[in-house]
Structure 1
Amino acid sequence: MARFHVPTIDISAWVGPGSPDARAAVVAAVDHACRTVGFMQIVGHGIPNVVIDDLQQGLDDFFALPLEAKKKYVRPGGENRGYSPPKSESLSYSLGVDPVTRMNDFFEAFNVGTSWREYPGTTATAEDYAENTWPDDTAGFEPAVTTYYDEARRVAQTLTRIFAAALRVPDDFFGDVTDHSIDVLRMNNYALPPGSIELGAELTGMGEHTDFGLVTVLWADRVAGLQVLGLDGSWNDVSPAEGALLVNLGDVAARLTNDKWLSTLHRVKPPVIDGTIERRRSAAFFHDGNADAVIAPLPGFVSADSPALYEPVTVREHITAKLAGSRAGRKNVGAVREAARVAAAERG
């Protein structure tokens, strides 16, 4: 089997004016990455450096607050908003996989997303598209995060146009699936004060999981930790190139293509250096699709030789089951195919 490789793809031909040949080359490269890895790095995305610099500063300012100050912004797990303290989640449960210790993922996070008020005239409700909580302890956090959020959403929408071309569906196909998309920006911090964890234990920065929706656009600093599961069952270290964003497919993309495109398992392992965990930051923008969109394999990916692997499900139903696993500790019994891949990797 070929060596594991996450390709770097320049999407500038789709961000600005691009020739038909240049755009076709991007489509071919993205399609190949989606079929073979499920991950890619993109450059030419058009997000200004100053926007990313401001985001990093905003994250640093917020996560530097005392834990008790951050806990003011904890929200109910089902809302997927606000602050998540360390060891309050276990992503493995979203796959129906038992972690070594319940709710053992040591990362902390802050989530913001698109509220129902931004989708007038649609079926969006506060139940699926919650309002945001913004910390009042750090003045620069909200404007920096909002600016980056808008840029990341633009990149995700550009990618769905490329996806439509790759899948040979109408240009507006994903518009119908994402015109009131559940979009969330999840900002993560992998660092804890010395003495607050057992360094001899089996530490899990973020347990193995697949992303829930259509596509994820990830900014991450270049500290080691992210690992991606290869087709041969091996875990492989992945770090973004300078100026690149990591992009990976989620479960919605895999279901639409009957697993021809890969929703690849990944995890974060903590880099322990001299008895402490090195700090690592990331911000994942999840473009998940409309809550009421019904997701099932597209006809072009189903045949007598390739029967449908998934029953139709709404984005709401799928995400609810996944969040009940990661946030409430209830195993997602519907994630049979993903759990089997984790088990195979452990045996290997």
Structure 2
Amino acid sequence: MKFAIGLLLLISVGLVGATALALIFGGPSRPPTLEGINAPFKALDNSDLPALSTYQARDGTPLAFRRYAPSADTSRGSVVLLHGSAADSRSMHPLAQAFASAGYTTYALDIRGHGASGTNGDIAYVGQLEDDLEDFVHAVDPVAPCTLVGFSSGGGFALRMAGGQRQQLFSNYLLLSPFISQEASTYRVDSGGWTRVGLPRYIAIMLLNRFGIDAFNHLPVVRYAVDESADLTPAYSYNLAQNYRPKADYRVALRETNHPMRVLVGEDDQIFRADQFATVFQNAGSDVAIDQLPDIDHIGLILDPDAVDAAVAAIQALNGQRVTDR
């Protein structure tokens, strides 16, 4: 009996020690700057970038967004834009301008943990981003029909919304090369060099959460290959990394989406496997239309004029509106 108790104590001490080591030393390393992602933004003209506005989230925090007024006399609806990982609303400027020019009131958000919204790289709890987005809709009351557009990780979060209990907040959804899951066939190792995940720390925190211990959820678990002089968000805490993506069983989200949805992806995407999106959606029992755009890479999907035109046309189609040339 004493031997068994001693063995259990020894195992417990070992597990505690291994967990502590994983938490302390198992964080993400810094990846080399990925020029294919960083360089295209350096040529952007942000001289006419709208000033930041704020709305108050339910915890009292002011969260930032940019509003683009429609150029047409008659509004065709509204668009809410979710940026990719490590970025903020500035990265969506060309896309926002295009939607506004097409007659849509457009909002580009700084998701909490990015830009001027909250603590850089962290949020208070998993699920806070859904609360924030609901608070935004209630505060701003976007004109219907309202489309939620997410790019990359923002596309993954848009999918999380589309398959969740608050999907009715938006009329339809447009996903631009969305992150689906590290277990989906669209995934490339380290997202093509864009990420470094501190897997030991990630696993340790995940296991601790199963026992109701969330004291370490604010530790960084993933780093991005950003140019760290560019005033971006180089790392995500466990809370932010778990929230700004689909839920673990992305297939459920795909099956439970009851609103119109479309997906655009560039054929030359270097972060995800473009040719696998149709397979992933079909295997999940989803008949969402997926369009591959030739000669477009990951960042080109939100910057290249042809890709931007395709995104505008996709929203017009989702709304059942006449597709117009810009």
Q: Which category describes the TM-score, using the shorter chain as reference length? A: under 0.3
Q: Computing the radius of gyration over CA atoms, which structure comes out larger, 1 or 2?
A: 2
Higher relative contact order (CA 8 A, sep 6+): 1
Using the size of structure 2 for normalisation, the TM-score is: 0.25
Using the size of structure 1 for normalisation, the TM-score is: 0.24
